[in-house]
Amino acid sequence: MYYHSFYIAKKYAKLLTRQLSDSDFDVIFAPACASETAFLEITTPIVIVEDANFALLHNYYAQFSNLLQRSYYEANTLEGLALTKAALVLHPSPWARLSSLENYHVAQEKVYAVPFGANVDTPPPAEVALTRKKSDQCTLFFIGVDWERKGGAIAFETLLKLEELGIQAELTICGCVPPPQFSHERMKVIPFLNRKDEKQRREMEKLFETSDFLFLPTRGECYGMVFCEASSYGLPSITTDTGGVSGAVTNGENGFMLPLSAGGAEYAELIAKVYRDDQRYAELVQSSRAAYENRLNWDAWGMTVTKLIHEMLEREEAS
């Protein structure tokens, strides 16, 4: 928690205040910069963007768990100071917005939930995404570097339960190597794909194009831009209703979320039900792509945020 301490925050403030004092900016845009802005002494309006605040991260992510009392106090205080100082606070999910309102008492008129977009340079054309057809074998795509936090064990259990339900399924793991006890003839492991490499990037795109579901039964997630990316391909997401996932996934629109308590049996039943219903699956493909085009892209985020910044500046000028 060194970077979320009073000592470092004051160092940031001294340096940045000096650097910004002779500058003429309309707005300071500060993504994930609570520590950097908490003690900042400027009159320029600050816009903070973060997927989650400290109150949500505490004891939710491993690196923010089991903290010393002093570390907790300083990190939480810095978050509160930064959010109070900010003229506009932007989160990608209602989960994070509610926390800023309830845990830090940020004024309602300056905190908003605006979903982030898909990190795809060239999303597939709509006419390509909308021609998606389910495969003969139910193909599940699991992506993430943290097998445990992303719910890898549940994904594996789901593969086995689908077999019991009479559905031939395949599970592709990309981004991590499962522990050795998780092995199956219809489970493929791709330890890493580098999107900067054209061949590997195309392999990643192929996984989005040919899978039937993005399957991520995550145990902890502040948002999940991969769900936005899946939607750009018309690929429905099956995941967990935890953290800020509901900012990216809407039940029945671009996928489904199950409670954190759900295990492989519950996920298998859900996947089997959707997979067996050709019409329902086709509708999900259509509505997943529509979710991307309507709100889960960076152009939509930019237009909404631009409007909010202009409204904030008008309030600042009038006050």
pLDDT at 1 over 80: no
**In the sheet where 237-240 sits, what is the strand order?**
187-190, 169-174, 138-143, 213-216, 237-240, 255-258
Q: What is the pLDDT of residues 160-213, one digit of tens each?
A: 999 999 999 999 999 999 999 999 999 999 999 999 999 999 999 999 999 999
Q: Within this chain, do residues 92 and 193 fall inside the same structural domain, yes or no?
A: no
Average pLDDT of the segment spanning 67-81: 97
The span from the CA of 285 to the CA of 226, in Å, is 16
pLDDT of 269 reads 98
Name the maximum alpha-carbon separation found in the chain: 69
Confidence of residue 23 (pLDDT cuts 50, 70, 90): confident
Whether residues 289 and 311 fall in one domain:
no
Q: Residue 31: which CATH number?
A: 3.40.50.2000
Judged against a pLDDT cut of 80, whether residue 41 lies above it is answered with yes
Task: Tell me: do 199 and 134 sit in the same domain.
Answer: yes
**Segment 82-128, tens digit of pLDDT:** 999 999 999 999 999 999 999 999 999 999 999 999 999 889 999 98
pLDDT of residue 10: 96
Residues 17 and 140 in one domain: no
Q: Are residues 26 and 153 in the same domain?
A: no
Among residues of the chain, what percentage have pLDDT more than 70?
100
Q: Is 11 in the same domain as 41?
A: yes
For residue 229, the enclosing domain spans 126-294
According to the model, what pLDDT value does residue 50 have? 98
The reply to whether 140 and 264 lie within a common domain is yes
pLDDT (0 to 100) of residue 319: 79
Nearest-angstrom CA–CA distance, 178 and 80: 39
Closest CA to 267 of 194, 159, 184, 189: 159
Whether residues 277 and 302 share a domain: the answer is no
Single out the residue of 269, 275, 227, 222 nearest to residue 251, CA to CA: 227
Residue 121's pLDDT is what? 85
pLDDT value of position 2: 73
Q: What is the DSSP string of the chain?
A: -GGGSHHHHHHHHHHHHHHHTT---S-EEEET-HHHHTT----S-EEEE-S--HHHHTTTSGGGSS--HHHHHHHHHHHHHHHHH-SEEEESSHHHHHHHHHHS---GGGEEE-------SSPPPHHHHTT----SSEEEEEE-S-TTTTTHHHHHHHHHHHHHTT--EEEEEESS---TT---TTEEEE----TTSHHHHHHHHHHHHH-SEEEE--S--S--HHHHHHHHTT--EEEE--TTGGGT--BTTTEEEE-TT--HHHHHHHHHHHHH-HHHHHHHHHHHHHHHHHTSSHHHHHHHHHHHHHHHHHHHHH-
Residues 186, 41 share a domain:
no
Half-sphere exposure of 315 (CA within 13 A, CB side): 11
Confidence of residue 3 (pLDDT cuts 50, 70, 90): confident
Whether residue 147 sits in one domain with residue 285: yes
Distances in whole angstroms, Cα of residue 265 to Cα of each of 159, 262, 293, 301: 9, 8, 33, 37
**CA of 157: how far to CAs of 154, 170, 175, 224, in Å?**
5, 12, 19, 22
CA 230/CA 245 separation, integer angstroms: 13
Condensed to tens digits (0 to 9), the pLDDT of residues 195-204 reads 999 999 999 9
Does 223 lie in the same domain as 174?
Answer: yes
**Which pLDDT does position 21 carry in this prediction?**
85
317: pLDDT strictly greater than 80: yes
285 neighbors 132 (Cβ within 8 angstroms): yes
- Give tens-digit pLDDT for 237-264: 999 999 999 999 999 999 999 999 999 9
Residue with tokens 């010393």: 68
| Residue 271 · residue 207 · CB < 8 Å | no
My answer on whether 74 and 136 are in the same domain is no
**Domain count of the chain?**
2
Arithmetic mean of pLDDT, 270-277:
98
The yes-or-no verdict on residue 79 having pLDDT over 90 is yes
Give the pLDDT confidence of 151-160 residue by residue, as tens digits.
999 999 999 9
